[in-house]
Amino acid sequence: MHALSELGTALWALMTPGMLFNVVWATLLGIFVGALPGLTATLGVALLTTLTYSLERDAAILVLLCMYVGAIYGGSRSAILLNIPGTPASAATALDGYPMARAGRAGYAMGLATAGSVLGTLVGILLLVMVAPPLAELAMDFGSFEFFWLAVFGVLISGQLTASTSAIKGYIAGILGLMVAMVGSEGIHAHVRFSFGIDALNGGIALIPAMVGAFGFTEVLSAMWNAQGQVVDGSRRGERMIPRLVDLWRYKFTVIRSGIIGTIVGIIPGVGEDIGAWASYSVARQTSSERDQFGKGSQEGLTAAETGNSAVVPGSLIPALTLAIPGSASAAVLIAALFIHGIRPGPLIMIEEPTFIYSVAAMMILATLAMGIFGIALTRVFVQVLKVPYAYLMPVVFTLCVIGPYALSQRLFDVGVMVVFGLIGFVLRQMNYPMAPLVLGIILGSLLDKSLRRGLTLSEGDLTPFFTRPMSLMFVVIIAFSILMNLRFVRNRLARLMARAESAGQKAER
C-alpha cells in the first residue's frame, strides 16, 4: 500500500501542462527514432542527454525516459514493414511481424506489437516498484569488496551474453572499456595516468563523447553499409488496428511470462533489450501449442517478442538506480544523465532521494500510455516516415553527434573523442564485437579501480576479504560458474554426464 501511495503521489505531481507536453513530444520523437533504421534507443538517449541541460531535473529525466520507452517500441515499425529492425531489440519482432505484413495484416501486426509493448512495460514497472526499494536496502551492506566483484560481474556477464559469435569478443570489448576508464586522474589520489603527455587527457575521457561516438557516429558509418529495405504496403483498406481482446486474453500467460523474463533480463547488467526479446520468443515457442506457426506470422510470437523487449526497459533501471550498474547500454547513458542532473544512483538513493524510484515509475507509466496512443493513432504515418532516404537522414544524425559533445564542454577535443570512438566502434562492429561491454567497461572502470584499491587499503593489502565475505564469496562463485559454463570442454563434459545419467535412469525403469 505504501508503494501504491507513493506512486500515486508521484503521478499527480507530473500532471502539469508542461510535463504532459514533454511526455507527448519526447515519446513521439522516441518512436520516430526507433522506427528509422540506423538509429537506436541508445543513440536517441545519448543525443537528447546533451540537449537537456536547460531543463529542470525532473523534466530532463522524464524526457530521456520517454525517448527510451518510445525508441524501443518504435523499432517494431520498421521490423514489421521493412524486415529491418529499427533497433536491435526488434530483431525477433521481424520474424513474425514481416510475414504478417506480407500477408496483408500489417496494421493488425502493429496493433499487436503496440499492445505487447504496453503490457510488457507495465509488467516491468510493477516489478520495478516491488524490487528496487528492497534491492537498494540490500545494497546498503555492500562495501568496497562487493562493489569490486559487482563491477567484474557486470562486464563479464554482458560480454558473455551480447557477443553474437564468441564470449571472448565480449570480454575483449569489456577490457577495452576498462582500459579507457583508466585514462586520466585516478579517483583516490588524483594521480594522472596514461595521458601520454596530452594535457586534455588529464581529466580522463568523458563518457558522453565516447558514448555518442560509439553508438551515434558508428551507426552513421554502419548505416552506409546496409541497404535500405522496401516498405511493405500490406494493410488492407479498413483493416482493424486495435487488437481484439480475445487475442490478448488467449496469450495472457505469454504476456505475463514474457514480461517477467524481460524484466529479469533487464536486471542482468549490460544484456539489453534484444536478449529479452529473444529469450521471451524462445520460451514462447517451446511452450506454444502453435509452434509450427512461429516464423511464419505467429501472433503469439510477435506478442512475446514485443512484450519481452519492452519489459527490459524498466527492468534495466532496477540495477541502474539501486547499484549504479546499467542493465542495458541505454541505461548506461541514463546513469550519466542522472549524475549530470544531480541524482546519484546507487545504494544511497533510498536515503538521499527516497521517492525518486516512484517518480521514475510514474514517468514510465505516462510514457507507456503515450506510446500506446501514438502507436495506434499514427500507424499509417510510420509507413511514410520509413521512406526517408539515408542520404537525408544520416547527415542530420552526424550533425547532432558533433553538436552534442561540443555543447557539453565547448571543447573541440571532445568532438575528436567522438570521432575516434565512432571509428573504433565501426571497426569493432564490422568484426562482430558487441558495443555494450565496451560502454559498461567505461562506466564500471572507475568503480572497479577505486573499489579494488580501497579494499586493499582497508585490509592492509590482504586479498582474503575479497573471497571470504559472504556477498563477495557469492559473486566469486557466480563469476567462476559463468566462466566455467562458457568453456566448451566443460559444457561437453556436462552433456556427457547428463546423457549417462539419463541412460542409467532408463535402464533402471526397465
φ/ψ of 459, rounded to 5, equals: -95, 5
pLDDT band at 234 (very low <50, low <70, confident <90, very high): very low
In the predicted structure, residue 2 carries a pLDDT above the cut 80: no
pLDDT in tens, 289-308: 777 777 777 888 888 888 98
* The one-letter amino acid at 379: T
Q: Please tell me the predicted confidence (pLDDT) of residue 219.
A: 73
Average pLDDT on 351-370 reads: 87
Average pLDDT on 198-219 reads: 79
Residue 259, exposed/middle/buried by CB under 10 A (0-12, 13-18, 19+)?
buried
In the predicted structure, residue 76 carries a pLDDT above the cut 60: yes
Q: How far is CA 396 from CA 12, 216, 220, in A?
A: 37, 11, 10
What sign does the CA torsion over 484, 487, 492, 493 have?
negative
**Report for 81-90, 155-164, 333-342, 346-355: range of highest mean pLDDT:** 333-342
In the predicted structure, residue 382 carries a pLDDT above the cut 70: no
> Which of 90, 106, 104, 96 minimizes the C-alpha distance to 31?
90
Cell of 344: 546519484
Average pLDDT on 409-416 reads: 83
Q: Please tell me the predicted confidence (pLDDT) of residue 157.
A: 66
pLDDT in tens, 461-492: 888 888 888 888 888 888 888 777 777 777 77
Q: Please tell me the predicted confidence (pLDDT) of residue 326.
A: 74
**Report for 110-119, 142-151, 202-211, 386-395: range of highest mean pLDDT:** 110-119
As a whole number of angstroms, the distance between CA 471 and CA 431 comes to 37
Considering the chain, what percentage of its residues have pLDDT values greater than 90? Answer: 5
* The one-letter amino acid at 8: G
As a whole number of angstroms, the distance between CA 262 and CA 154 comes to 18
**Report for 100-114, 310-324, 477-491: range of highest mean pLDDT:** 310-324
pLDDT in tens, 13-50: 888 899 999 999 999 999 888 877 667 787 788 888 87
pLDDT band at 163 (very low <50, low <70, confident <90, very high): very low
* The one-letter amino acid at 472: S
Considering the chain, what percentage of its residues have pLDDT values greater than 70? Answer: 85
Q: Please tell me the predicted confidence (pLDDT) of residue 46.
A: 80
Question: Which range has the worst mean pLDDT, 52-56, 91-95, 393-397?
Answer: 393-397
Task: Give the bridge partners for 185, in sequence order.
Answer: 192
Rounded (5°) CA angle 202-345-355 = 150
Q: Please tell me the predicted confidence (pLDDT) of residue 85.
A: 67
Average pLDDT over the chain reads: 79
What is this structure's pTM? 0.72
pLDDT in tens, 257-282: 888 988 888 887 656 677 788 888 88
Q: Please tell me the predicted confidence (pLDDT) of residue 65.
A: 92
In the predicted structure, residue 366 carries a pLDDT above the cut 90: yes
DSSP letter, residue 469: S
Domain spans in the chain, listed from the N-terminal domain onward: 2-143+206-232+251-398
Average pLDDT on 190-216 reads: 79
As a whole number of angstroms, the distance between CA 487 and CA 9 comes to 50
pLDDT band at 411 (very low <50, low <70, confident <90, very high): confident
pLDDT band at 510 (very low <50, low <70, confident <90, very high): low
Cell of 64: 530521456
Average pLDDT on 432-452 reads: 79
In the predicted structure, residue 155 carries a pLDDT above the cut 80: no
pLDDT band at 87 (very low <50, low <70, confident <90, very high): low
Q: Please tell me the predicted confidence (pLDDT) of residue 310.
A: 87
Task: Collect all residues with Cβ–Cβ distance below 8 Å to 483 and sequence separation of at least 6.
Answer: 156
pLDDT in tens, 235-254: 445 455 666 777 677 878 88
